[in-house]
Amino acid sequence: MTATIALVDDDRNILTSVSIALQAEGFLTRVYSDGETALKALLENPADLAVFDIKMPRMDGLELLRRLREKSALPVIFLTSKDDELDEALGLAMGADDYIAKPFSQRLLIARIRAILRRTDAARSSDEGAEEGQPQPIERGRLAMDPARHRVTWGGEPVTLTVTEFMILETLAQRPGIVKTRNQLMDAAYQDDIYVDDRTIDSHIKRVRRKFRAVDPEFDAIETLYGAGYRFSED
Q: pLDDT tens, 217-234?
A: 999 999 999 989 999 997
C-alpha 94: how far from its chain's center? 10
The answer to whether 193 touches 78, Cβ cutoff 8 Å, is: no
CB-CB neighbours of 218 under 10 Å: 7
**CATH architecture, range 138-232:** Orthogonal Bundle (1.10)
- Stated pTM of the model: 0.66
4-124: what CATH class? alpha beta
Average pLDDT value for the chain: 85
143-179 pLDDT, tens digit each: 999 987 778 999 999 998 877 888 899 999 999 999 9
Query: Where are the domain boundaries for CATH 1.10.10.10 in the chain?
Result: 138-232
Residues 100-133 pLDDT 10s = 888 888 888 998 898 888 877 766 644 444 455 5
CA distance 187 to 189: 6
For CATH 3.40.50.2300, the residue range(s) in the chain are: 4-124
